[in-house]
Structure 1
Amino acid sequence: MDQSERSSVDWSSVNGSLVPHKDAPGTDVFLNQGGVFIVRSDLGCYLQTKELKTGTGIEIRRLHPACRGGDHYLSDIKDPPNIYIIKGDSYQVVKDLSTDAGATVRELHPNCRGGDHYITYGSNFSIIFLERGVMRSVLDLSTDEQGKDTPLKPDRCKGLYYFGFVYFQGQIEVDEKWGAQCYLFLDIVSEKDVFSIHPDVLNFFPGGLALTQGTSTSSWECIKTLQNDSDSSITWSDKVTCKVGYAKQQMSSIEHNWSISAEMSLGAGELTKLITQFQFSFKAEYGGRSVHTEQEDWNEARDEEESIQVTLEPKTKLYIWQYRLGIGQKPVLFCRDVHFTKEDKPPDRIPLPPVP
């Protein structure tokens, strides 16, 4: 497979990664006859597509409240398939994540608890224990029937997300050269295929915006400079115009190839806004800024005037700064915080609450 097939992004200039399953509570990937499913409990929805590679037929659907907050999500090969939601030492089986249809709850067998990843492979369940370096295969999660441990090869311990289907197991990684890649294995040692994940799908993953749009940026922008060249103090009183709010159009293209179901009750661009808010909250290693922005003005960006009155000492300057956040080279959120300095040097504080 040549480079043009693998990726069209210059990954050497990208700093960031998908947020791995262990750091993204309520996020997981699984396959069944309906396609590929990416669950994001933090957004209250899930993405369904025919293929990770092409991003064909993407639909975003509401996640039923009873199906949120799972530690792991997986599905089997039955027709219609069962979907398994693992929470702690028990799991729920449903037919549909958006309706909680046919829900039943069972206990996990002690040997099936505490796994780092859960997938299905043919008629079996596979549980990956990374610290032990094994994959446990069982016929039933509640009884540990036909339980068997198989050592994992080192390259099978690098996945951010894992999934399985009838004849293969897959894992998602971020390669420094090729970007977000999906590796398919016929078994735990044999590589079957490798391909890049489509940007329309990546955008839905936590941290995905860093890979498709660029890492989060933050800066103070000087919006006005006042200067007193006289030998006496002067009082300056006027209005300063600054942009405040969310630059919706900068991010609107993300949803162009998504079909968002009516049950979501979201206006155009609302889901992208939520995804962008979460992106800013992620750690720098995932392309975020580790700040909360929910209290900022997320309405459509607009020009606002602010009345300012200051006294300037003789032969001095005053610089007026505004804080803003961006994704890649795009300014996205113009914050309400305005700060003054006497030197042509931006403030050294961050006016947004940090993520604990």
Structure 2
Amino acid sequence: MHFESISAMIVPKSKSKADFCGVDQYYYMTHDNMNTDGSAVVYSLHPNCQGGSHYCSAFGYFYIIFQDRGVYRRTRNMNKYEAGEEFTLHPECRNGLYYFGVRNYYYFVNPEDQWGGIKYTRCTNFNKNEGVDTYSFHPSIYGFLPGGLAIAKGPSYGEWVCIKTIDNDSQTPLQWKNQVSKKVGYEKEKVSSMEHNWKVTATVSAETGGLGALITKAQFSLSTEYGGSSTNTEKENWNEVTEVSETMTLTVEPKQKVYIFVYQMGLGKEPVLHCRDMRILDKPSPPTDNPLPHA
């Protein structure tokens, strides 16, 4: 049984592996082009810059957000803590899910509010909450936010679907041999709309099944709280969906039926990934387990 309504949320950075800044606990990286590693330089973080909840850069400064303490630090250089200062976070700037910056502004992704939708705030001063504007994310951006694909398409689900019923209404056992056709692979067109406003390199498409496939895998791996299924689908077939046939030989007892089920995963109400798993049962009720590994 899959979900009928959207109950997902954006995954906060504290519960996600995603970030908009190349910083870990003790080091940070600067980069001119993230498509190559030729210009990457790694620096150690000054002790005053370590342990931040979020990091971003704007106005020629680095900003380190210490969300639990309700403060942020500003510095010209996170390796030397040059011109370092600490400020109190304005209450309206304290609860961002992610923080990021550009030359003359910094931004944060807003928690879900009573009006729904996914919004972000732009401002020029985290301490005084100045220059504030709040915007809605364009739907084409949703999928790039952890958990956002479930908001755009609906939460993920997994279910067993009956694709064949073999009925023996005779008084003798039935020796049944035939080909059973099933779908295997990824229904790219159901998710590819998110890529329409983006330029995706041919390498990504060829090696991974496309950007949409990468994002869908990530969504399936999230917990149900964030619209996922806690399921690892890495070993499934993420090539474009095809129909395959398999020859099967079965014995169906007199006055009995046999049911053939396959497993599929989807978003909202639409199947997206047709898995390899198949079950043969003597009852019409589908299996209740998830045959794929836990994420």
2:237 counterpart letter in structure 1: D
Other-structure match for 1:28: 19
Match of 1:190 among 129, 154, 157: 129
Q: For 1:343 and 1:170, how far apart are their aligned partners in 2?
A: 55
Aligned pairs (5 A) from 1:257-296: 257-261=197-201, 264=203, 266-267=205-206, 270-296=210-236
1:17 counterpart letter in structure 2: M
Query: How far apart are residue 265 of structure 1 and its match?
Result: 5.5
Deviations 1:46-95 (A, max 9, x none): xxxxxxxxxxxxxxxxxxxxxxxxxxx1xxxxxxxxxxx32331223333
* Percent identical residues: 39
Other-structure match for 2:112: 175
Asked if the contact 1:126–1:135 (Cα under 8 Å) also holds between the matched residues in 2, the reply is yes
Matched, 1:252 2:244: no
Q: For 1:310 and 1:261, how far apart are their aligned partners in 2?
A: 47
Other-structure match for 1:66: none
Query: How far apart are residue 279 of structure 1 and its match?
Result: 1.9
Query: How far apart are residue 200 of structure 1 and its match?
Result: 1.6
Q: For 1:316 and 1:103, how far apart are their aligned partners in 2?
A: 66
TM-score (normalizing by structure 1): 0.73
Asked if the contact 1:178–1:196 (Cα under 8 Å) also holds between the matched residues in 2, the reply is no
Q: For 1:115 and 1:347, how far apart are their aligned partners in 2?
A: 46
Q: For 1:90 and 1:298, how far apart are their aligned partners in 2?
A: 35
Structure with the bigger RCO (C-alpha within 8 Å, sep 6+) is 2
TM-score (normalizing by structure 2): 0.87
Aligned pairs (5 A) from 1:1-356: 13-25=5-17, 27-29=18-20, 73=21, 85-100=22-37, 102-176=39-113, 177-188=115-126, 189-190=128-129, 192-261=132-201, 264=203, 266-267=205-206, 270-355=210-295
1:88 counterpart letter in structure 2: Q
Query: How far apart are residue 19 of structure 1 and its match?
Result: 2.8
Q: Name the one with the larger strand percent.
A: 1
Query: Which secondary structure does the structure 2 equivalent of 1:179 belong to?
Result: coil
Asked if the contact 1:216–1:326 (Cα under 8 Å) also holds between the matched residues in 2, the reply is yes
Other-structure match for 1:53: none
Asked if the contact 1:207–1:288 (Cα under 8 Å) also holds between the matched residues in 2, the reply is yes
Query: How far apart are residue 347 of structure 1 and its match?
Result: 0.4
**In the comparison of the two structures, how many residue pairs are matched?**
288
Q: For 2:109 and 2:165, how far apart are their aligned partners in 1?
A: 49
Question: What is the aligned-residue RMSD (CA, Å)?
Answer: 2.5
Query: How far apart are residue 283 of structure 1 and its match?
Result: 1.7
